[in-house]
Amino acid sequence: MRNLQENYHVVANAFPSIGKKIKLFWGHQDLTDLMHDLLHNTRGHSREGFKLDVAVALLELQELHNRVFPQFKEVSFNDRSLIHRTTHS
């Protein structure tokens, strides 16, 4: 696993505009939203995707952000079902 700076540079060198957004959004909900949009097909049509090194760097950045800022962690399907059961019991 690469560190924060190494992962950032992999992404920023390949996609400078994404690198700028990562810097701007780090520590905020906006980064969780950005990562979701980058790593999931939310446009409804096929996309080319990222080269493996960039995809791994994005995933590792997302994982680090989730650990450091758990309050912004994206809720998974399993987490949503647990929330639904506890709030509607």
Express each pLDDT in 40-84 by its tens digit: 876 677 778 899 999 999 999 999 999 999 998 876 544 444 444
The domain tally of the chain equals 1
Sequence-distant (≥ 6) Cβ neighbours of residue 62 within 8 angstroms: 32, 35, 39
For the whole prediction, is pTM greater than 0.85?
Answer: no
- Structural domain boundaries enclosing 15: 4-87
- pLDDT confidence of residue 76: 56
CA distances from 11 to 22, 23, 35, 55, 70 (A): 9, 11, 12, 8, 22
CA-wise closest residue to 32 among 67, 1, 5? 67
